[in-house]
Amino acid sequence: MHFMKRVLIGVAWPYANGPIHIGQVGGCYLPPDIFRKYNKMKGREVLMVSGSDQHGTPITVQAEKEGMSPGELAEKYHTINKKAIEDLGVEFDLFTYTMHPRHKEVAQDIFKTLYDKEHIYMDVMEIFHCSHCTRFLPDRYVTGTCPRCGAEDVKGDQCDECGLLLDPQDLHGPKCMICGSEPELRESEHFFLRLSGFQKKLEDYLEDKDFWKSNVLNFTRGWLKEGLKDRPISRDMKWGIPVPIDGYQDKKIYVWFEAVIGYYSTSIQWGERNQRDWREFWKDPDCRHYYFLGKDNIPFHTIIWPAILMGYDEELNLPYNVPGNQYMKFQGKQFSTSRGLVVSLPDVLEMFDADAVRYYVSSVMPELRDTNFSWEDMVDKNNSELVGNLGNFIHRVLSFTFQNFGEVPIPGEMDEMDRSVLDFIEMTVEKVSDCLEECRFKDGLRSILELSREGNRYFNDRAPWVEVKKDRDRCGTTLNVSLRIVKALSVIATPYLPNSMDELSGYLGLDSDWHNRTWDQALEPLHEGTHLEEPKPLYKHMDMDELFPEKRVLSSLKQLDLRVGKIMDVKDHPDADKLYLFTVDLGDEKRTLVAGLKPYYDKEELMGKKGVVVANLEPAKLRGIESQGMILAAENEGTVSLVISHGEPGTNIKGTQRGAGMISFKDFLKYELVVGEGADGTVKAGGTYETVGGDVRAQSLVAYLQDEKAFVLEDDTGPVYPHKPVPPGSKVR
Ligand SMILES: [Zn+2]
Ligand SMILES: [Zn+2]
């Protein structure tokens, strides 16, 4: 293997226009931190840099929304995000910001140098201009429909939904973001990066990059294959770094051209602050450069940034690897700060320990394809893997040894089973190391869990609780071997779970600061006789009901199968005065229902109406005819009203579950369904209930009450509601 002495890690610059969300953590903040910690433990010098991206239209657009200046907004979110990143245990050697004067100076120097070398030139181009607002509309000041995926209200620089990079002119139905009117194209002078001039050089650069991840490599090759086009890198804006060319200082440098320069300017700042020579990281060919980012940023790091570096100074190191990730989505959709679909990092860290977050995010990192973040999955993985596997193994070994020996026992003679465990440790340490060298973080974590699973198996097979009574020496050997697994875990899991591995090292009588831990220590046995500390469990069990009480309402609704049913036919029951026989269309099946609606509705009134059917009610004979379910109605002192829906027949009411097990009528009556009125996030239904789901803008609705909370029943079209007016609080069954 190539001996690497130094590593530079560049991490994509987060826009300071909102708190960092959990999707970004999985996409580009946690992976570089794991990589950095690993490299440190391997004894390499590491410089990891990034900072807040404080320029560009994302900042000015949000600043207008929050009623503050772009500078104030950028300061605000820089502070919030820097703290959240630190709280997660992510350590930068320098996390700065693009408003920093040193960055401005370096960015302008690079722009000017490229201009002097004719890698940048001036030309006239057409830009959207709003005659109503009398201003040019750069990037995000234009919105429209994405030409690729059809998403609406897409911003003019990029589609959040599918990741397509855009020029505002590409949008269908472009509108001025400020006033909504249709903009027109006007000519304006701008500066262009002559990317076409770097075509050959970039092709050569890519030649030996076969080891890149396929998504990154294919994306980059695609751009090169199409032929590189020169790109405008100035904007008509007030906010940003002025173009350093006489007569054009009113124009600003395009935020993406300028932000990538931050890797370089921050390294210089780091050198100045620490009296170190930053050139060791930029001009020594033995220093490898890794860049971590989400897929939307790939071309800026594999095409534009290398071109800037090549044009500026031939001696500078180019990106060695760009392990760009896909998207981590939430409920199948792309997280988006501007669309309010956000699980923010500060919020998540208020609810959970940093290592629990790091664990879950590591296990669903979008390394090769888009992945999904969900609370249910997080709770599930935390309980079954982190607590149930890793935490459980470590704790049972530590507590059993502490109670019975109080120190690291002396191993006796090892047998086949012991030796195969020691081999397994060695193999795992090597495997995890290989994974981390290649930035395959999910595979690394999986191998770590396999080791603790193996440990659990060994511990069970040996049954030291039996051995300790029969053969104390043999028990000592078992515990010594088990502790060697624990020791190895405390080292190889450190890049992922630094806080809990620090705590664990303390229990083992070792240095509890990971900065003093080295990778090679994974295979060093603990010193016999080392005094052990009384251990506490490293991880906490999570309880979905406690964390998300509103989902508890949903989870009990899952035992109901409520579907939209269309009444296709109404007949009189041959043997009963008050009963009708309905034929109801449930989408993929038709059912016969017997309902007591005859005194309240004419047949014609009911024909064709869509109602809500309890589809998993045990069939019951009513006066000799079997009813295969029940249609919901509200009743109040002599009035009975069908509950109406506008959805497609067969659609499930949200929160209920198609194919739920059969329930008896008696069980169904335990569900408190009532008519209500919606107002300000509450439902009035006799009393006033806090709403934990559903749209409450409807005046009349049906709510499910549980634990003094209300969940509004709705289908895709909105809440279901009583057909005739009945007072709030009326029962529905
Ligand atoms: Zn799109
Ligand atoms: Zn306008």
pLDDT 10s digits, 193-247:
999 999 999 999 999 999 999 999 999 999 999 999 999 999 999 999 999 999 9
- Residue 706: C-alpha distances to residues 543, 547, 556 (Å): 18, 17, 9
Q: Is residue 587 part of a domain?
A: yes
Beta-bridge partner residues of 733: none
Q: Are residues 625 and 497 part of one domain?
A: no
Q: Are residues 563 and 449 part of one domain?
A: no
Q: Is residue 247 part of a domain?
A: no
Distance between CA atoms of 157 and 169, rounded to whole angstroms? Answer: 10
CA of 160 to the centre of ligand 1 (A): 7
Among the three residues 220, 235, 250, which one is the final residue of a domain in this structure?
A: 235
Among the three residues 235, 253, 273, which one is the final residue of a domain in this structure?
A: 235
* Number of domain units in the chain: 3
pTM to 2 decimal places: 0.80
Burial 16-52 (b: 16+ CB within 10 A, else e): bbbbbbbbbbbbbbbbbbbbbbbbbbbebbbbbbbbb
Give residue 502's domain range.
374-523
**Which residue pairs from 417-421 have beta carbons closer than 8 angstroms and sit at least 24 positions apart in sequence?**
417/458, 417/461, 417/462, 418/477, 418/478, 418/481, 421/454, 421/455, 421/458, 421/481, 421/484, 421/485
Q: Are residues 487 and 580 part of one domain?
A: no
CA of 234 to the centre of ligand 1 (A): 24
CA of 151 to the centre of ligand 2 (A): 22
Q: Are residues 443 and 556 part of one domain?
A: no
Q: Are residues 458 and 411 part of one domain?
A: yes
Q: Are residues 493 and 567 part of one domain?
A: no
The ligand whose atoms approach the alpha carbon of 128 most closely is 2
Q: Are residues 588 and 504 part of one domain?
A: no
Residues 586 and 563 sit within 8 Å (Cβ to Cβ): yes
pLDDT at 2: 52
Distance between CA atoms of 710 and 729, rounded to whole angstroms? Answer: 12
pLDDT at 566: 96
pLDDT at 361: 97
In this structure, what CATH number is given to the domain that contains residue 130? 2.170.220.10
3-state helix, strand, coil in the chain (%, to 5): 40, 25, 35
SS3 call for 239: coil
Among the three residues 235, 252, 275, which one is the final residue of a domain in this structure?
A: 235
pLDDT at 696: 66
Q: Are residues 727 and 598 part of one domain?
A: yes
Q: Are residues 590 and 488 part of one domain?
A: no
Q: Are residues 604 and 478 part of one domain?
A: no
Q: Are residues 728 and 587 part of one domain?
A: yes
The ligand whose atoms approach the alpha carbon of 137 most closely is 2
Q: Which residues of the chain have pLDDT under 70?
A: 1-3, 331, 336-341, 550-554, 695-698
CA of 651 to the centre of ligand 2 (A): 42
- Residue whose pair of structure tokens reads 């981390």 in the numeric block: 436
Q: Is residue 367 part of a domain?
A: no
pLDDT at 683: 87
pLDDT at 554: 65
pLDDT at 185: 95
Q: Are residues 647 and 608 part of one domain?
A: yes
pLDDT at 323: 96
In this structure, what CATH number is given to the domain that contains residue 399? 1.10.730.10
The neighbourhood of ligand 2, an ion, using CB within 5 A, equals: 130, 132-133, 176, 178-179
CA nearest 157: which of 23, 243, 54, 255?
A: 255
Distance between CA atoms of 697 and 558, rounded to whole angstroms? Answer: 24
pLDDT at 1: 47
SS3 call for 209: coil
